[in-house]
Amino acid sequence: MSNKTDSPSTVDRHLMADRARELMVLNAIAAAVAESLEPQPLLVSALDHVLDLLEFEAGAIYTRQEDERLHLIAARGISEVVQQRYAQLALDDPTIGRIVNERKVFVIEDVRTIAGLEPLATEAGLCAVLMLPLIAHGQVAGILAVLRRSAQSFNTRERTLLEAVADHIALALDNARLFVSEQQRRQQAETLRIAAAAVGSTLDLPAVLETILAQLQRVVPYVSATVQLREADIVRVIAARGFPDNGENLKLQFAVKDEPTRRVIEEAETVLLDDAPAVYPTSRVPAMSHIRSWMGVPLCYAGQAIGMITLDRIEPNAFTSSDAQLAVSFAQQAALAIENARLFAAEQQRRRQSEALRKGALALTEALGPDAVLHRIVQQATELMETPMCTIYEYDAETGKLAVRDTWGDTAASSQWSVTIGQHVVEDAIQAHHAVGVRDIAEIDWSRREDAGQIPPELAYVPFRSLLAAPLLVKGRTYGGIVVYYASQRSFTADEVQLIEIFADQAALALEHARLVYQSRQLAALEERQRIARDLHDSVSQTLFSLTLAAEAAKNTVSNDVQAAAAMLATVQELAAGALAEMRALIFELRPGALHEAGLAAAIERFVGAFRSRTGIAVQLDLDSRRLPLPVEEALYRITGEALANIGKHARASQAMVSVQQRGNSVELVVSDNGIGFDPEQLITGDHMGQRTMQERAAALGGGCRVTSKRGVGTTVTVHVPIISEV
């Protein structure tokens, strides 16, 4: 049969058939788009319709991804093994590169003639392949490939039809990608909003850090992550998640000058490492041995990188530029939350410090012994400086040595090494007259110290790494020093140094106050003993001397004049009774038991009874029997005793009166007599008639004491004291 060209009607029928098939494919793709804009199901459906309607045995669709490789998205008529073999295609492959660069259809009539494609024939039984670029916005977004089992070429009509179909698939793919991209942006925006709200929901720094790492996992999936903050020339890990031992990672720190930290911190650059151990040896530490992909994102606040967030994955090339953009957006919120939390923590710290310093100042006004003051100092310093242990060393001026006086905190860490090292740092602080910090004890050459033998050569066994010490000095007098210990290496800020110096100054004043109080008490006890000795000499000793003379006279008289001797013995008895009353009064002054048991009124009644027996002076009492705070009762009792003693010694009175009355929130004591009085205008030196002592007792309670007198009329002592309940 001779070859004949197709008639016009035949050509028209072919064109109509091709057009019909094209419309069917396009309608099928449109239907798939209507069902879903997700790229995966859309492309699978489109490929099925292309193969079914155009009668090809196999086909595949590849899309271009961010890693600049073509990834297999949909396939049919190809075994799983072959699909895995060709799951990704590199753009630098000669065949693929030609399609992408030239953007033209590429036909291979027999795959066995192309190196690398033989398995399509040997394993899948396929022979001819036609590949078309999927072009969207002038860029190759993917490839459509159709295959036949026979070595048969693709005719012009098939090519034209497939090119039209490829254009529609590319358009559908582009729309699907835009839809997915928009969905992803919305989801990411919502995730960022939720994460930002969660991060900003608290001002507690540990809670903020934990929330940051938890919410970051939702934004950019990771295996492990850290938050690191800058401290001078280092960054320190302050939070970790996903590591075998998160707590162990909190001990890690890295120099800012080392890469890749420098790029993140100094240049505020987001750094992605596809294979971190291969690039930077610092990534090979045991705690990070699992890391392959690494991302460092700066935490920027007020134009400065205050730290960084790091994200890790166990596979290489895991993070994309989209991940980096999301992490940067999240880091902006995280940096603000961290800085707010740090400002809040600093404010809380200042409040705690103010309270601790207030308590330290309060110790200056309390009548505490030196040991009690020292114990309070180490407790407050531990709280103030947030340290696990604090020690106070006392300086012995005679020997020039320091010795531990008190320790508070983790006493298990208070080994001989701690004592020796702390002593050396305190010595440095005393010599410098200001605080001295040790960032790391391993950085100091201890061999030059006198007690170097007591410091272990292997400092890893010492339970602390950093110290901060300050001298305790007052008016050139050295009391010693205070030192705080920290388990991990750290640099001390100027605020911390200033704080411990302020606290040390206050502690030294407290010690000076305690020393003066102790001396004052010793002096008061000495004065009291001297007063008792005077009273014994002026009263009991003279009475006993008179009693001795009377007894001697009775002894000499009894043989000659019994009646006179009896009268003398009556005098002896009277003198003995008086001496006994005076002794009881003195003993009662030393230990007024009735004051504690029955109150001020009962104690004054007892004292006045002894006073009447001793002096013969009539005393009228007008006493309010309601109890008062014990310090008030003790002071009023002592003032009453002092005033009555003055009456007995100096007033030459026949009558006296004692009145105690509560008047609202105060109490009034009045002691008066009808004695000879004195001239209040006369210059008085010393503690005339105990006036200074009475005034000091009243003033100590916030009250006052006034003495009025007139010659020939008598004297009145009036005391007003506020009633303040005991705390």
Question: 472 with 583, same domain?
Answer: yes
What number of CA atoms fall less than 13 Å from residue 60's CA on the CB side? 25
Edge-to-edge strand order for the sheet containing 655-663?
Answer: 618-623, 655-663, 666-673, 714-722, 704-710
**CA triple 468-256-215, angle to 5 deg:** 95
Domain CATH number, residue 682: 3.30.565.10
Q: Indicate the SS3 state at residue 496.
A: helix
pLDDT at residue 675 in the model: 92
Alpha carbon distance 174, 138 (integer Å)? 12
DSSP string, 332-387: HHHHHHHHHHHHHHHHHHHHHHHHHHHHHHHHHHS---HHHHHHHHHHHHHHHHT-
Q: Who's near 716: CB < 8 A, 6+ residues apart?
A: 670, 671, 672, 707, 708, 709
Residue 418 domain flag: yes
Query: Which tops the pLDDT comparison, 664 or 16?
Result: 664
Which of residues 320, 349, 378 is at a domain's end?
349
372 in the same domain as 335: no
State the average pLDDT over residues 212-240.
87
Residue 404 to residue 402: CA distance in whole angstroms? 7
Cα distances (Å, whole numbers) of residue 585 to 248, 608, 611: 73, 9, 7
Question: What total number of domains does the chain contain?
Answer: 4
Query: Is residue 2 in a domain?
Result: no
Q: 1 in a domain, yes or no?
A: no
- Omega within 30 of 0 (cis) for the link into 260: yes
Residue 360 lies in a domain: no
Residue range(s) defining the domain that contains residue 487: 366-591
pLDDT in tens, 31-77: 665 565 677 777 888 888 788 877 888 999 999 887 788 999 899 99
Q: Indicate if the pLDDT at residue 245 is higher than 90.
A: no
Residue 355 lies in a domain: no
Instruction: Clarify whether residues 220 and 118 are in a common domain.
Output: no
pLDDT tens string 196-206: 676 666 677 78
Over residues 573-598, the mean pLDDT reads: 68
Q: Can you give the pLDDT at residue 3? A: 47
Residue 383 sits in the same domain as residue 491: yes
Lowest mean pLDDT segment, chosen from 17-21, 108-112, 351-355: 17-21
β-sheet bridge partners, residue 142: 63, 134
Shared domain for 46 and 131, answered yes or no, is: yes
DSSP string, 557-597: HTTT-HHHHHHHHHHHHHHHHHHHHHHHHHHHHH--HHHHH
Residues 33 and 177 in one domain: yes
| Chain mean pLDDT for the chain | 80
Domain boundary among 349, 377, 407: 349
In-domain check, residue 172: yes
Q: Do 514 and 614 sit in the same domain of this protein?
A: no
Q: Which of 506, 511, 501, 503 is CA-nearest to residue 479? A: 511
349, 379, 409 - which closes a domain: 349
CATH number at residue 251: 3.30.450.40
pLDDT value at residue 264: 93
720 found inside a domain: yes
| Residue located via tokens 């072009």 | 135
**Whether residues 337 and 454 fall in one domain:** no
Q: Looking at the structure, do residues 586 and 604 belong to the same domain, yes or no?
A: no
The pLDDT value recorded for residue 459 is 55
Residues 576, 603, single domain; the answer is: no
pLDDT digits (tens, 9 = 90+) for 680-705: 776 455 445 568 778 888 888 888 99
Question: Who wins on pLDDT, 683 or 671?
Answer: 671
Q: Note whether 629 and 552 are same-domain residues.
A: no
For position 537, what pLDDT does the model report?
62
Residue 194 lies in a domain: no
Same domain, 302 and 390: no
Distances (CA, A) of 4 to 1, 7, 154, 155: 9, 9, 21, 18
